[in-house]
Amino acid sequence: MKDEKPLSESLSRRDLLRQAAGAAAITSAVQSMRAVGAQTREAAETAPRTRSTFDFGWKFMKGDAPGAQQPAFSDSAWRDVDLPHDWSVEGPFGEKEPSGGAGGYLPTGMGWYRKHFRLPESQRDKLFLVEFDGVYMNSEVWINGQYLGKRPYGYIPFAYEITPHLNLGGENVIAVKVDNSRQTNCRWYSGSGIYRHTWLLATNRVGVAYWGTFVTTPRVSKDAATVQIKTRVRNDAKTSARCTLVTVILDKSGNAVQTAESVQEISANGEYEFVQQVRLEKPELWSVANPYLYSLRSTVQEQGRVADVYDTLFGIRDAVFDADKGFVLNGERVKINGVCLHHDGGCMGAAVPERVWERRLETLRAMGCNAIRTSHNPYAAEFLDFCDRMGFLVMDEIFDE
C-alpha cells in the first residue's frame, strides 16, 4: 500500500487557511455565547422575578432507598433522567401487576428522585420556591435533608418555599420520594413519577403572591366590558412597605389599552388584596372562532423601585347556559361539540410532550371539535394554555368520584 501523508501535510494552504478561519470563528462564537450566557445569568440575578425550568439533571432509582433524603447519600449509581418522567410506561408488562388492566399491566411501586444544584451567593435577598406541576403519587420532598411536606394527590400542582434551607454559593440537594404502591388507586392509566414539569421560582420579598391574580369580567358586551382584577401582594420583609400596584391591560400586539394604579401600606410579613376595576371600549371577545387573549401586567413598586412584574393571560367573554337556547357565548348560540380526554398520551405514557397535546388538539379542531372534558382530574397548565389559545371550551373535572 502507498504510504499516506498526515492530514496536516496533505491539506493545501487554502484548506489550512479555511480551517484556521473556521477555528477562529468557532472560538469567537464560543466567546460570544459565554458573554451572552454571563449577561443572561446577571440579568436573571437582578430581575425582580424569574421562573426557570427545573427539569434537567435529575437522578432516579426505582424502588425504596432509605436515607436518600440526606445530602450525603450517594446517588452515583442512579439513572440520569430529565423530567417529565414516567417510570411505569418503561415496563415491563406483567399480567400480575397490581395496577391490573386499568394501569395497562405496567409496574407502579415506589421511586426516588434527587437533584444537585447551586445558587449564587448574590441572590441571598431573594425568595425561592420549587414548583411541581404533578407527581403521581403520594410524594414527599426534602431540601438539604429538611422535610418540606407530603402531597397525597397525584394531579394537583404544588410548591414549597426552600429559602430558609438553601446553601447559597454551595451545593444543594433536593430529594423526592414517590409512592404509587397502593394499588389499585384509579380506573385508568396513571403513570408513576414526576410526570409533569418542575420550576424554580425566584422573587423579591415584596411582590405578587403565589397565584396572586384573579381576573373576572362581570359585564361584557361588544361595545364595552368591565374587567375586575384582584391582586394579592405580599410583604415578606421585616418592615412595612408602601406598595404601588400598577396594572396594565395589553392587547395581542402588546399595546396598552387600559391602566389602573393603587397604593397601600402593607405590614411586615403581611398581605393585602388590591381590587381594581377598569372599562374596555370595543373589546375583542374570546370565542371558539376567535380565541383572543389579553395580557394583564401587574407591576409592584416599592421605595421607587420595581419590586415585581407578573403577567396573567385572560380572555373577555360572556358565557350563559339557557334553558331554551342552550349554550350562549357572547350572545350567540354555540353548539358544544366536545370529547372526553384522559391525561396520558397513549403509548407515550403520562409524561406527555407538549407537541403531542398541540397536535391532538389541532386534529380535533379539524374534526369540528370545540370543547374538552378533562377526565377525570386537573390537567397540566400547558394543556389549558393550548385550549385558551386554540379556541376550546373546557369542562375542568377535578375528581372522579
pLDDT at 46: 79
Average the pLDDT over 252-280 and give the result: 98
pLDDT at 7: 34
Angle at 139 between CA 151 and CA 340, to 5 degrees: 75
Give domain status of residue 37, yes or no: no
- Tell me if 277 sits within 8 A of 261, measured CB to CB: no
Residue that wins the pLDDT comparison between 19 and 373: 373
Of 170, 203, 236, the position where a domain reaches its end is: 203
Same domain, 220 and 183: no
Q: Is the pLDDT of residue 6 over 50?
A: no
User: Considering only CA atoms, which of 174, 136, 169 is closest in space to residue 155?
Assistant: 136
pLDDT at 223: 97
Q: Which residues pair with 146 in a beta bridge?
A: 143
Q: Is the pLDDT of residue 26 over 50?
A: no
Same domain, 95 and 116: yes
Same domain, 291 and 194: no
C-alpha cell at 335: 353548539
User: Considering only CA atoms, which of 251, 243, 158 is closest in space to residue 207?
Assistant: 243
Angle at 133 between CA 128 and CA 138, to 5 degrees: 100
Kindly give, in sequence order, each residue whose CB lies less than 8 Å from that of residue 303, ignoring residues fewer than 6 positions away.
241, 242
Q: Is the pLDDT of residue 91 over 70?
A: yes
pLDDT at 35: 55
Same domain, 174 and 281: no
Q: Is the pLDDT of residue 32 over 80?
A: no
pLDDT at 43: 58
Single-letter amino acid, residue 100? G
Range of the domain at 391: 336-396
- Tell me if 140 sits within 8 A of 147, measured CB to CB: yes
In whole numbers, what is the pLDDT of the chain averaged over residues? 91
Confidence of residue 400 (pLDDT cuts 50, 70, 90): confident
Same domain, 156 and 220: no
Average the pLDDT over 203-207 and give the result: 98
Question: For 62, phi and psi rounded to 5 degrees?
Answer: -85, 130
Same domain, 99 and 131: yes
Residue that wins the pLDDT comparison between 201 and 16: 201
Which strand (E) or helix (H) includes residue 349? Answer: none
Whether residue 259 is preceded by a cis peptide bond, meaning omega within 30 degrees of 0, is no
Q: Which residues pair with 400 in a beta bridge?
A: none
Can you give the CATH number for the domain in which 175 is found?
A: 2.60.120.260
Question: For 31, phi and psi rounded to 5 degrees?
Answer: -60, -40
- Tell me if 136 sits within 8 A of 184, measured CB to CB: no
Q: Is the pLDDT of residue 15 over 90?
A: no
Kindly give, in sequence order, each residue whose CB lies less than 8 Å from that of residue 48, ignoring residues fewer than 6 positions away.
203, 204, 207, 306, 307, 308, 309
Q: How far is CA 364 from the centre of its chain?
A: 24
Same domain, 183 and 232: no
Please state which of the ranges 41-45, 129-133, 282-286, 391-395 shows the lowest mean pLDDT. 41-45
Please state which of the ranges 13-22, 292-301, 323-332 shows the lowest mean pLDDT. 13-22
Half-sphere exposure of residue 382: CA atoms within 13 angstroms, side-chain side: 15
How far, in Å, CA of 7 to CA of 2, rounded?
15
Tell me the whole-structure pTM to 2 decimals: 0.88
Same domain, 149 and 199: yes
Whether residue 92 is preceded by a cis peptide bond, meaning omega within 30 degrees of 0, is yes
pLDDT at 11: 37
Domain total in the chain: 3
Confidence of residue 16 (pLDDT cuts 50, 70, 90): very low
Average the pLDDT over 12-30 and give the result: 45
pLDDT at 41: 57
